[in-house]
Amino acid sequence: MGSVLLPSTYGFPKQIPSPSLYSITRQEESIVVVGEKPKVSPISPSRPPKQRGRAMPSIWRPSRQADYDCFSSATPIVIDNGGSAFRIGWAGELDPRVTFRNVVQRPRHKTTGETVTIVGDHDPALMKYFDYTRTSHRSAFDSNVVYQFEIMEYVLDYGFERLGANDLQVDHPILMTECVCNPISSRSKMAELLFETYGVPSIAFGIDSAFSYKFNQQHGICTEDGLAVCAGVTTSHVIPFVKGEPVLEACCRTNIGGYHVTDYLKQLLSLKYPYHMSSITWEKAEELKMEHCYVALDYASELQLFQKGKKEAEEKTRSWQLPWVPPPQEEAPSEEELARKAALKEKQGQRLRDMAAAKRSIRISEMENELHGLKDLLQQLGQVEETEISSILSKTGYDSRQEIESAIQKITQSLRKAKGEPNETEERIDASLAEKYPLTNVPDDMLTPEQLKEKRKQTFLKTTSEGRLRAKQKRFEEESMREKQNQQEEEKRLENPELYLEKLHARYRELSEKVEQRKRLKTNGARTNGNQNLSGGVGRGERLNAAQKERMRLLTTAAFDRGKGEDTFGARDEDWQLYKLMSKDNDDEDNGQEEDEAELARVTARLQPAPDKFWSVWGKGMLQKRRQK
């Protein structure tokens, strides 16, 4: 299917014993062949390029002819240099000795990285050893004219080596085919290549269709006058013959050949079966064309034959099975395997439960310590005078005794919940519901069908009642919390009215600005700098609020500032807050909106009965604006 040669710096290939697989590496001035190790002399820089080394043996290639020395130097070598196939053999024989595809590839060896040259057909087995992702088939022809003589040299090297040539000299006359009306420049370069590189004694060029016509004329198949139709791989020629001689002045050429037919077939198959496009390669399409396609003598009647679906059409239809590998059948796991997986799953679950229990115990211990500290603080406040209470509270972060009692109540509830103990309210609810719905706690096997039906009804009613009672209890707790908060604020107001109103005004301004800014962002996108989009379209930058823009800025900075200057991130505890700011959870566009509005309404209500002498002009304007809305 193909041949593997060394790079162009290496010389004309010589015979090397062919093991099943070779790989090649180049180390300075020597070539190492891994596999069967023939002796290879080092490369001498003083040698001409054609003597630098040997060819890498192919994984698969046509057999080398062993009778090259049996032919006299007067026996010509015939080369059919076609755009699709390269054929070489001896004059006087009916069939060529060596035939291969006239293309070259230059992939890299996956192990050594060495660039190699593969001449001939593509062998999929080579993809295991060579990287074909950055290479493709290269031909020496442009249409049917040779113009890449470096590629042509690779092809000739391989053809002569397979024919049996042992040295650099090919001392046989050469007869080579060429295209019709071949340019003189292409012919002269081909002659120069054969004379200078291989030292051939003489060269003759000719047109293959003319040779074929004369051969058939000698055997009485055709007369002296006729037409020779040459259908090539990329072009087709029609050459008239008059009195046995070609009239090249009247030759006609069409730029359509077998390549275009194969490419068209490949396109048709790819369009009809797009999910098999990777399997329908150009080589497969060529194979299908050569094995199963035919030329219709009457295209219209042949088309009607397939349209009507007659039996003859079914006989001419071919089905092609793509290479298919059945999926591996998974064996059912054994009992030992199932038991092992179950034990492993249980072990992992127990490990997670132990971790959760350890975290819960640590949290319970912390809450108990905090609860003891608050109780001690509350006891200490009861033992000191009223004048010393403010100094003690200033060190703890609490403003009054009521805040400490509220914190003790919250921690107590959280502690009971962490320990799995129901609070007093839930105990009362459960006791009352258990008396009202007695069947809910009775096992099903102890009840009659009528009682089971009644139990389902009681279970539903109990669930809804529990939900209503819990919601009522939650509302009661919230009301109690608000009353305590109002009581604490009233105490602060009575203690120092001016300071209280000043703090209340500051809180009012802060909340008002926050609520107004959120409304502006929702109404106008982010157009707070005079960016008026008259077209009505809103881009991404106009949809982002300030928090989202800040997060995007932090992400961009973190992505593009890597490796710039000295990295001191993490030296301060504040640096780690960056991850919290960059997190999407930090985007609180709607999270605190209701809380802020409720707090603003409460502060406004507290300000309403305040005397006018404590109002600032700005505060009055903002409050009036709020009332109008």
Per residue in 242-265, is it b (16+ CB within 10 Å) or e — as a string?
A: eeeebeeeebebeeebbbebbeeb
Alpha-carbon distance of 363 to 345, in angstroms, equals 27
**203 sits in which H/E element:** strand 203-207
pLDDT of residue 261: 93
pLDDT of residue 172: 95
The dihedrals phi and psi of 226, each to the nearest 5 degrees, come to 180, -170
Per residue in 494-510, is it b (16+ CB within 10 Å) or e — as a string?
A: eeeeeebbeebbebbee
State yes or no: pLDDT of 554 exceeds 50. Answer: yes
**23 sits in which H/E element:** strand 23-27
> Picking from 117-121, 243-247, 453-457, which range would have the lowest pLDDT averaged per residue?
453-457
State yes or no: pLDDT of 588 exceeds 60. Answer: no
Q: pTM of the full predicted structure?
A: 0.46
Higher pLDDT, 267 or 422: 267
Alpha-carbon distance of 175 to 108, in angstroms, equals 35
pLDDT of residue 5: 36
Higher pLDDT, 55 or 213: 213
Q: Sign (positive/negative) of CA torsion 480, 485, 491, 497?
A: negative
Q: Are strands 174-178 and 203-207 parallel, antiparallel or unpaired?
A: parallel
Beta bridge partners of 252: 238
pLDDT > 90 fraction of the chain, expressed in percent and rounded: 28
Provide mean pLDDT across the span 310-322.
Answer: 87
Higher pLDDT, 329 or 235: 235
Provide mean pLDDT across the span 215-239.
Answer: 92
Alpha-carbon distance of 101 to 117, in angstroms, equals 14
78: its two tokens: 């015939």
Count Cα neighbours of 399 within 13 Å in the Cβ-side half-sphere.
10
439: its two tokens: 């069947």
pLDDT of residue 47: 30
Higher pLDDT, 558 or 102: 102
State yes or no: pLDDT of 538 exceeds 50. Answer: no
Using DSSP, state whether 124 is helix, strand or coil. Answer: helix
Using DSSP, state whether 56 is helix, strand or coil. Answer: coil
Confidence of residue 423 (pLDDT cuts 50, 70, 90): low
Confidence of residue 50 (pLDDT cuts 50, 70, 90): very low
Question: Could you tell me how far CA 565 lies from the centroid of its own chain?
Answer: 33
Provide mean pLDDT across the span 361-368.
Answer: 89
pLDDT of residue 385: 78
- Strands (E) in 120-212, as ranges, are 130-131, 141-142, 145-146, 174-178, 203-207
> Picking from 60-69, 142-151, 391-400, 615-624, which range would have the lowest pLDDT averaged per residue?
615-624
Cβ-contact 77, 88 below 8 angstroms: yes
392: its two tokens: 């003690």
> Picking from 76-85, 239-248, 504-513, which range would have the lowest pLDDT averaged per residue?
504-513
Smallest Cα–Cα separation from 244: which of 258, 230, 226, 229?
A: 226
pLDDT of residue 39: 32
State yes or no: pLDDT of 610 exceeds 80. Answer: no
Computed over every residue of the chain, the mean pLDDT equals 76
DSSP code string of 139-154: -SEETTEE--HHHHHH
- Most confident of the following: 150-159, 398-407, 579-588: 150-159
Provide mean pLDDT across the span 330-355.
Answer: 89
Provide mean pLDDT across the span 414-438.
Answer: 68
- The terminus-to-terminus CA distance of the chain in angstroms comes to 86
Q: What's the order of all strands across the beta sheet hosting 104-105?
A: 3-5, 117-119, 104-105
Question: Could you tell me how far CA 593 lies from the centroid of its own chain?
Answer: 41
Place of tokens 């679950």: 349
Place of tokens 């962002």: 521
pLDDT of residue 141: 93
445: its two tokens: 């096997």
Using DSSP, state whether 202 is helix, strand or coil. Answer: coil
Domain boundaries, the chain: 3-173+193-201, 259-316, 339-460
Beta bridge partners of 254: 236
Cβ-contact 178, 196 below 8 angstroms: no
571: its two tokens: 């030296």
Using only C-alpha atoms, what is the Rg of the chain?
A: 47
CATH code: domain 3-173+193-201 is 3.30.420
Residue pLDDT, tens place only, 166-175: 877 899 999 9
Alpha-carbon distance of 495 to 489, in angstroms, equals 10
Q: Are strands 130-131 and 108-109 parallel, antiparallel or unpaired?
A: antiparallel
Smallest Cα–Cα separation from 373: which of 350, 396, 339, 402?
A: 396
Q: Sign (positive/negative) of CA torsion 83, 138, 123, 257?
A: negative
pLDDT of residue 584: 56
Provide mean pLDDT across the span 27-55.
Answer: 31
